């Protein structure tokens, strides 16, 4: 049965959505889908910062839409009073041919930041990708993937600084750790959300989790580790 959200423009509707997103990164499943677009469209404006989980989710979907669009089908979500989502709303935005479009694309690249602070390295990488798209008219896969992990501690007494240090202590030649942030889970517990980039043929994320992040001594801090998003770059 499809989940239904009502009155997303009201405090009660936003509170229900905020509670729903407390333990979820997306509306349904483990990747952005049409369900996220449906709910995103149902919001007339960016949610207030007091709705922590909705704001985190909304900003992430906004970033995805600017970067590459959302293609997942989803499970079917109903937002009372919202318009249906057309295929064009979720397709990958085409690269613009005009100077104005190119300038807009570059501005969007500068604004994209899933964790609130874009590094110079990330900006340079975004500019290089944009230049490659303009030169070829088509974005080519690099053989790499960008991954977002949720790393959860055992309890609220876990030292999250030591947890992150333990996670980043895992080093592989074709594994590169990126930006991170702490996100509330509930009851005073926070989880670590961390980005990483891998070379697909050389590093397995499942192996990274099972053989490294959930093994001693790292599992003294880490209770579980889940793949939230996995995107080819």
Q: By three-state DSSP, how is residue 58 classified?
A: helix
Residue 210 CA, chain-centre distance (Å), reads: 22
Q: What is the pTM of this model?
A: 0.42
Give the closest residue to 229 by CA, choosing from 22, 4, 57, 5: 57
Distance (Å, whole) CA 121 – CA 114 = 14
The distance in angstroms from the start CA to the end CA of the chain is 34
Per-residue pLDDT reduced to its tens digit, 158-198:
999 999 999 999 999 889 999 989 999 888 899 999 999 99
| Residues constituting the chain | 233
Distance (Å, whole) CA 116 – CA 193 = 13
Per-residue pLDDT reduced to its tens digit, 1-59:
567 888 888 888 899 999 999 888 888 888 888 888 888 888 888 888 899 999 999 98
Q: Where are the domains of the chain?
A: 3-87, 94-136, 144-232
Per-residue pLDDT reduced to its tens digit, 125-169:
667 666 665 655 444 455 888 889 999 999 999 999 999 999 999
Q: What is the pLDDT of residue 185?
A: 87
Distance (Å, whole) CA 129 – CA 136 = 11
Residue 36: enclosing H or E segment and its boundaries?
Answer: helix 34-42
Could you tell me the CATH superfamily of domain 144-232? Answer: Ribosomal protein S6/Translation elongation factor EF1B (3.30.70.60)
Preceding omega of 217 cis (within 30 degrees of 0): yes
No. of H helices and E strands in the chain?
8, 6
């Amino acid at each position: 049965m499809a989940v239904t959200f009502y009155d997303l423009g009201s405090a009660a509707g936003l509170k229900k959505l905020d509670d729903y997103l407390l333990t979820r990164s997306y509306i349904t499943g483990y990747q952005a889908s049409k369900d996220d677009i449906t709910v995103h469209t149902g919001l007339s404006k960016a949610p207030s910062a007091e709705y922590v989980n909705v704001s985190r989710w909304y900003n992430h979907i906004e970033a995805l839409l600017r970067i590459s669009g959302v293609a997942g089908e989803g499970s079917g979500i109903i937002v009372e009073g919202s318009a249906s989502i057309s295929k064009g709303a979720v397709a990958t935005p085409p690269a613009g041919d005009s100077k104005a479009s190119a300038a807009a694309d570059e501005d969007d690249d500068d604004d994209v930041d899933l964790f609130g602070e874009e590094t110079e390295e990330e900006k340079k990488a975004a500019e290089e990708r944009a230049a490659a798209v303009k030169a070829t008219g088509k974005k080519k896969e690099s053989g790499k993937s960008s991954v977002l992990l949720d790393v959860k501690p055992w309890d609220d007494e876990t030292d999250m600084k030591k947890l992150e240090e333990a996670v980043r202590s895992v080093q592989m030649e074709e594994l590169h750790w990126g930006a991170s942030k702490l996100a509330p889970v509930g009851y005073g517990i926070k989880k670590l959300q961390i980005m990483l980039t891998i070379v697909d043929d050389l590093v397995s994320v499942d192996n990274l989790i099972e053989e490294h992040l959930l093994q001693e001594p790292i599992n003294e801090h880490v209770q579980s580790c889940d793949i939230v998003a996995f995107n080819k770059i």
